[in-house]
Amino acid sequence: MNKLEHLLQPIRVRQLEIPNRVVMPPMGSNLGNTDGTVSEANLAYFKRRIQSGAGFIITEITSVHPNGIASPRTLCVYDDRFIPGLAKMADIVHRQGAKIAMQLHHVGREGYYLLKEGKALAPSAIASYIYRIKPQEMNIEDIKETITAFGQAARRAREAGFDAVELHAAHGYLLMQFLSHHCNQRTDQYGGNFAGRARFVVECLQEVRKQVGEDFPVSIRISAEEIIKDGYTVEDMQSIMPILVEAGADIIHASFGTHGSPGGITSAPVEYEPGFKVELARKVKEVVKVPVIAVGRFTDPFMADEIVTRGDADMIAFGRQHLADPDFLINARLGRVQETFPCLACNQGCIERLLFEQGSIRCAINPETGQELEYPVQAAKKSKKVWVIGGGPGGLTAASEAARLGHQVTLFEAGKEAGGQVLLAARVPYKKVYGRWIEVLNARAIKHGAEIITNQEVNEEMINKGQPDEVILASGAGPVWPDIPGVDLPHVCYAQELLNGAVAPRGAVVILGSGLVGMETADYLREKGIKNINIIETEARSPVSTLTSHGYMLHKRLRTAGVKFLFNSRVTEIGEESILLQREPDKQQELKPVHQVIVATGSTGRNRLEDFLKQGGIPYHLIGDARKPRRIIEAVEEGAQAAWQL
């Protein structure tokens, strides 16, 4: 059996010995105080993340200058007053036996708050990819001031007890903006060819080295390739790697992509296989002798061990896996990998929550993440008899958490197995890992002491007879059947019936609804070889946003396969081999041939027992899709909160 002997070997960088090759890379949490200082929530989140035993911890972005702050809760290091809080972070890591680096960051033109105030700086006055607002072009004085700020920040990191620093020159932020000709069109010594555009990064490294001395390790996180049209390549980066090392870089953290890279590749969705960009680390290693960290949706320590064994990389970054299950490395070491929650790469609680909702860090499948201060550890003072009705992700989470806290829990699932809609999601392309998560969650609930009863519909009589102290109503949602002439014809079915195998796909298909269920059903049919697929949507566009990573990939895949979208269209009649559409107030269209019509027009909560519970005075919690159909993150969080409130 693989004992992770290479992954768990120590590695030396200058005078620093790192106990193993597992890296927790920087991940924004938005947990900091609004004045840029470290909060208690930061410390609690950080402490829980590192318990699995990663050897090298790199903090989330830490701003080196007031004009480089990404958001109001970004951690800062541009003044000595930040040192005490940051020192607490370093101390937590040292007590765990690991080593810690501070990531030094300047947002450049990719900070909405600074852009809105007209304070954002960048190499050239070219609008942000994301926010479409122009920054101010940096003058030489701005450049020199920023270089000094990186050096002073590194000095403060060392004074705070950190073991290393890392310069963030990746993912479209200021240092990378200087490298990219899309952002840097300067004609002075900081522009021009690739070597000229790299000068700012080189001088930042030199100043950092000057401030921290020769014995203090310095890492640099790069995007080894830009992954944007006409962007720089890994061969371009190879040309400056030796210069970066000479300037002071002791570790190369080989990431990829930028703001504007298609498909949100910097936080790769589930479509990308774990380790899909390891060749970038290998190419960096071809031109430098310092340790190189590989990046790319890593979840499996055993795969990581193979990569280190082959010499493709020296260290492996496990990012979102630390959010999904911070015990993953412990489990691998102890031979219980079957107990680890695998990261779904869904981005719901991390990237999308921070970027679109301006919230703090969460994980869609791990309710503890970002809520460490609220997460109950001790058993409840009084054990209650708790019934959980429904075995979807919300119900299973509620059952697992309630049982963990010492309650007597019985979960009833009407279907033949627990998992709810996630079982269907696991049948569509690229989402097999969703089924794996449900297996682990089911086993975790049982391990904690919950009894799971399947093929059991709960009714009022059962509740009266069983007399639970509290009920968690997690009965999910059912599909909405549209009121359309012909909808009762035998070739019309729910998307769920197709995905669960009750109905076989055939011929020319029309899908009613372009939400996630409709889109993923089309993707399922595409993979099955169905060529003629039309998706009908009453709105002007699909509710599945291309701004999300999975949404982008899904739209691209379907359009490439020739799937046709008919927006602003309403079905007025379904025939035996055709459908009639109302496309404009005075325009109708007949679509044929049509051999199968699949209904994906939304869902509605199943909460028929709520009135009975309310009238009977039985304490209950309505959670997940039973309350309102939404995503996994809402179901899981509400399930956990219901259990914590018992």
**In terms of DSSP bridges, do strands 570-574 and 579-584 run parallel, antiparallel, or are they unpaired?**
antiparallel
Tell me the C-alpha distance between 391 and 476, whole Å: 8
**Does any domain span residue 61?**
yes
The token pair that represents 269 in the structure block: 């969705």
Check whether residue 135 and residue 112 sit in a common domain: yes
Q: Is the pLDDT of residue 357 over 90?
A: no
Check whether residue 471 and residue 506 sit in a common domain: no
**Does any domain span residue 373?**
no
Tell me the C-alpha distance between 269 and 344, whole Å: 8
Looking at this protein, which amino acid is placed at residue 152?
Q
Q: Assign residue 443 the CATH number of its domain.
A: 3.40.50.720
**Does any domain span residue 115?**
yes
Supply the pLDDT for residue 355. 84
**Does any domain span residue 41?**
yes
Confidence band for 584, pLDDT divided at 50, 70 and 90: confident
Check whether residue 390 and residue 438 sit in a common domain: yes
For the entire predicted model, the pTM comes to: 0.96
Residue range 453-464, pLDDT digits in tens: 999 999 999 999
89: nearest Cα among 134, 46, 32, 132:
46
For 31, 226, 324, 372, the CA distances from 345, given in Å and listed in that order, are 21, 21, 9, 21
Supply the pLDDT for residue 162. 98
Tell me the C-alpha distance between 554 and 536, whole Å: 16
Supply the pLDDT for residue 2. 64
Q: Which of 336, 356, 376 is the last residue of a domain?
A: 356
Catalytic residues: 173
Mean pLDDT value across the chain? 96
- What is the DSSP code string of 55-81? SEEEEEEEESSGGG--STT-EE-SSGG
Q: Where are the beta strands (DSSP E) in 251-355?
A: 251-255, 292-294, 315-317
Contact residues for 66 (Cβ-Cβ < 8 A; gap 6+)? 76, 78
Strand ranges across the sheet with 587-591: 570-574, 579-584, 587-591
534: nearest Cα among 482, 584, 569:
569
Check whether residue 271 and residue 403 sit in a common domain: no
Tell me the C-alpha distance between 528 and 224, whole Å: 36
Q: Is the pLDDT of residue 585 over 80?
A: no
CA torsion sign for 155, 160, 165, 171 is: negative
**Does any domain span residue 364?**
no
Answer left, alpha or beta for residue 583, where phi above 0 means left and psi between -120 and 50 means alpha: alpha
Confidence band for 633, pLDDT divided at 50, 70 and 90: very high
269: nearest Cα among 459, 16, 536, 549:
549
**Does any domain span residue 365?**
no
**Does any domain span residue 380?**
no
Whose tokens are 């994301």? That residue is 130
Supply the pLDDT for residue 262. 87
The token pair that represents 53 in the structure block: 């035993």
For 315, 457, 633, the CA distances from 49, given in Å and listed in that order, are 18, 39, 19
Residue range 366-412, pLDDT digits in tens: 999 999 999 999 999 999 999 999 999 999 999 999 999 999 999 99
Q: Which of 338, 356, 374 is the last residue of a domain?
A: 356
**Does any domain span residue 5?**
no
Tell me the C-alpha distance between 301 and 323, whole Å: 15
- Asked whether the beta carbons of 21 and 7 are under 8 A apart, the reply is yes
Check whether residue 440 and residue 517 sit in a common domain: no
Check whether residue 25 and residue 70 sit in a common domain: yes
- Asked whether the beta carbons of 601 and 482 are under 8 A apart, the reply is yes
Q: Assign residue 208 the CATH number of its domain.
A: 3.20.20.70
Q: Is the pLDDT of residue 78 over 80?
A: yes
Q: Assign residue 517 the CATH number of its domain.
A: 3.50.50.60
Check whether residue 272 and residue 414 sit in a common domain: no
Supply the pLDDT for residue 402. 98
| Arithmetic mean of pLDDT, 442-459 | 98
Provide the 3-class DSSP secondary structure of residue 35.
Answer: coil
Supply the pLDDT for residue 130. 86
Check whether residue 60 and residue 205 sit in a common domain: yes
Residues of the chain with pLDDT > 70: what percent?
Answer: 100
Check whether residue 587 and residue 613 sit in a common domain: no
Check whether residue 449 and residue 580 sit in a common domain: no
Check whether residue 581 and residue 619 sit in a common domain: no
Q: Is 510 exposed, middle or buried (0-12, 13-18, 19+ CB in 10 A)?
A: buried
The token pair that represents 214 in the structure block: 């020769």
Check whether residue 352 and residue 389 sit in a common domain: no
Number of structural domains (the chain) is 3
Domain extent, residue 401, equals 385-479+604-644
Beta bridge partners of residue 61, listed in sequence order: 103
Contact residues for 73 (Cβ-Cβ < 8 A; gap 6+)? 30, 31, 32, 33, 34, 360
Residue range 319-351, pLDDT digits in tens: 999 999 999 999 999 999 999 999 999 999 999
Residues of the chain with pLDDT > 90: what percent?
Answer: 96
